[in-house]
Amino acid sequence: MKKKSPVYFILPFLVFILLCANVFSQDRHRGMQIPPRVFVGDRASLILPLQPMFFTGLSSGSVELPREQLPFSEEIDIHRITAEFRQGGGRLVIEFSAYTPGILEIPPFEIAGEIFSGLLVEISSVLENDGLGPVLSGSAATLAIPGTSLLIYGTLGVVLLLLSLIFWLLFKGRKLIESRFALWRRKRLVAAMVGIERRLRKSLAKNTCVGETLNTLSNEFRSFLGFWTGENCRAMTAVELSRINPYSVYPGISDGVPDGRFLGDFFTRCDRLRFGGEEIKDSEALSLLDDLRIFLKEADAALRKKVQTEGEAA
């Protein structure tokens, strides 16, 4: 009888060894990562299928490795290891965080009487490679400095306020400003004429020539009326001045104030004293100054009334 070659005995033995290695050995097995791509610092899980024959003593349930028995590594932080058993099979769940990119090995550990080693995980770097060499991934959103919202909305509010003011000045404020400026000029004009009236009154008290005082009064009052009405009053006679309404520049506020007849009477008396050839009494000059003071007070009151009227209209 012919002897069989030893190969026939060795070959089945090698096949048995390979099958056992495929079933029992967990060395260098990567399992399934969740999520599939894990970056440095991310928390992920490695799931490894298990055969029922590994846990013949347990029909169902799960076993979690105590925290003090979790393996330690400087590259991988192991959070939790659980072996879950089912009738159709089981799985090993390893929750971890890695701090080094590349292919890393989970340190060996023992659970449910079985030793697991050579389990590998692949960690991606936050530096992405698109064929042009490593490039930085997208930058994180910047943190707003405290008070930024208030600064932004406050600036927008100021800008809108300025724009509103500009439009108001262009369409409505221009006329109002011009009117107020004209009122201000006339108030300053009245104040200047009041000062002249007081100066002439003091000059009479010092026994100054009355004729010279009346000349100054006539010239200054005519200049005042010229600026007030916008007409050349210096060359007008008393009759021509009587036709001027000094409040025509402000219609509707002339009630109760002197009109052109006052001006005609005032300058007729003044010219008669200046050119009459008779001696002028101080009382007659003071009477003209008194009339001028009344006119200026009523002019100031008219201006105040105009300002109040415009304020109510605005």
pLDDT of 25-72, one tens digit each? Answer: 443 455 789 888 888 888 999 988 877 666 655 555 788 888 888 988
3-class DSSP assignment, residue 198: helix
Are residues 37 and 106 both part of a single domain?
yes
3-class DSSP assignment, residue 118: coil
pLDDT in tens, 114-131: 888 888 899 888 765 545
Are residues 293 and 202 both part of a single domain?
yes
Are residues 53 and 183 both part of a single domain?
no
Average pLDDT over residues 141-168: 81
Q: Say if 145 falls within a structural domain.
A: no
Predicted confidence band at 220 (pLDDT cuts at 50, 70, 90)?
A: very high
Single out the residue of 199, 195, 252, 250 nearest to residue 224, CA to CA.
195
Residue 115 has a pLDDT of 84
User: Where in 164-304 does DSSP place strands (E)?
Assistant: none
Q: Say if 131 falls within a structural domain.
A: no
Average pLDDT over residues 236-252: 70
Residues 6+ apart with CB under 8 A from 64: 80, 81, 82, 83
pLDDT at 242 over 70: yes
| Residue that has been written with the tokens 């060894």 in this structure | 17
Residue 234: DSSP 8-state: T
Query: What one-letter code names the amino acid at 181?
Result: F
Rounded CA gap, 101 and 38, in Å?
A: 9
Q: Say if 17 falls within a structural domain.
A: no
Residues 6+ apart with CB under 8 A from 230: 249
Look at the chain and report how many structural domains it folds into: 2
Q: Say if 143 falls within a structural domain.
A: no
Residue 139 has a pLDDT of 58
Are residues 189 and 295 both part of a single domain?
yes
Q: Say if 166 falls within a structural domain.
A: no
Residue 263 in tokens: 């001006």
Show the domain range for 105: 27-125
